Amino acid sequence: MSKAFTKEIDDDDGAAAMPSLPAGGKNYITPQGYARLRDELLELMDVERPKVVEAVHWAAKNGDRSENGDYLYGKKRLREIDRRIRFLTKRLEVAEVTDPSVHHGRDQIFFGAKVRYADETGDERELTIMGIDEAESAQGQVSWISPIARALLKAREGDVVKLATPGGVHEIEVLSVSYPPPSPGG
């Protein structure tokens, strides 16, 4: 069958590769995380997509599209960009911007807290509780819906909390809690 009569199914918006929102649809995010997502969306819409559309238009004028690599790659890239634009638009629509600096000086754990804790063996670790779309595990950041963040939320310095893991329930002690300072103008 000719490829002209088949339709690729591309309606998942990349959801399988992206973290899903918890029930209730809250999407807590820091002001900096929101700005990064918004900037990415604007870059895709105002710069990247127009460049690819222009390249696809140029490649389409070069004849047989079924064997035109520039055209085929351009169309594929355009679908990827459009999928990411839809994803970012949906995420930004339900984003609940939460500034962690409002808790500066407190010892209770809320969204945006940097937490130092010790596990049962005495090993100390540090993490920062961030939004689903902005947490980078390589930088010690975890999503607020992660099991460890859920266990730590609302605890205070000195508290011992139970963390359920596939290997069993473990106790961790909160050693310190900190938040970024408020911005000078805010």
CATH number of the domain that 126 lies in? 3.10.50.30
153/135 same-domain check: yes
pLDDT at 14 over 50: no
Q: End of a domain among 97, 125, 146?
A: 97
Q: Please state the pTM of the whole predicted model.
A: 0.78
pLDDT exceeds 50 at position 10 = no
pLDDT over threshold 70, residue 26: yes
Q: Are 59 and 74 in contact (CB under 8 A)?
A: yes
The two beta strands, 114-118 and 160-165, are unpaired
Give pLDDT tens digits for 137-176: 999 999 999 999 999 999 999 999 999 989 899 999 999 9
Q: What is the pLDDT of residue 3?
A: 47
**Contact status, residue 130 vs residue 31, Cβ threshold 8 Å:** no
Which residue range(s) make up the domain with 27? 23-97
